[in-house]
Structure 1
Amino acid sequence: MTRKDFDFMRWYLLHDRATVFVDEDTWYLLVHTTCKHLQDDYRCGIYETRPQICREYTTKECEFEDDWCYEKYFETPEQIDEYADALFGPQFPEGADRDIDSIRSRRPTGLPVVG
């Protein structure tokens, strides 16, 4: 994995009700929400025009265990940031130029305290 991959995961976690986890060295995005097109009878409200990902989706290998334990589990972009920094070192060390491979801007400096 690259630093850029972690930036994408950070972006996923900036969205409401999303988490990322690792199982057997494979990374997964978990979205804790229901589709806005799901009808009261649990049928798809846009079935004929649903996206390709919906057409290909299957629950064949879904896990339905309540006591599942993940190798790694991330709920916030800060957790991904800290993990990536532990793997690669700080993205923007003090005084360094912006990382060319980064998809995000430099961390903001602190605001001055007005007294």
Structure 2
Amino acid sequence: MSKFETRAEYRKLYKSARWKHGRLAHLAVEPLCRYCRQQGITNDGSLTAAGLRQADPRRCFLVVDHIVPHRGDLALFWDRANWQTLCPDHHDRAKQREEVRGFSVEKGADGWPIDPLHPANR
């Protein structure tokens, strides 16, 4: 099967030994939040997206995120070129908003949106 039909079916993949191994290998190569790095923050999972010390110890970790949502597509799920490291704040907030909107609201030093898909850049 190359695609799972329901979320419950593919959520099980995150418990697999293959995923756990791949996740650790990815974090060894990319041990900092990619979005934080783009903002000049070195976040190993111990900080918030704002660069402050994470007060909630349950949120002191890093997420291996699928850049392009796989939505059950196994080829996309296992494609390591489609993986990035994010802190929980960026994964749970910024990345989710981007997926819903279809573009990032991140701004450059000039205050203008940097995402070419942002409506201001169309």
TM-score normalised by L of structure 2: 0.21
Q: Return the index of the structure with the highest Cα Rg.
A: 1
Q: Determine which structure has the larger strand proportion and give its number.
A: 1
Normalised by the size of structure 1, how large is the TM-score? 0.21
Return the structure number with greater relative CO, CA threshold 8 A, min gap 6: 1
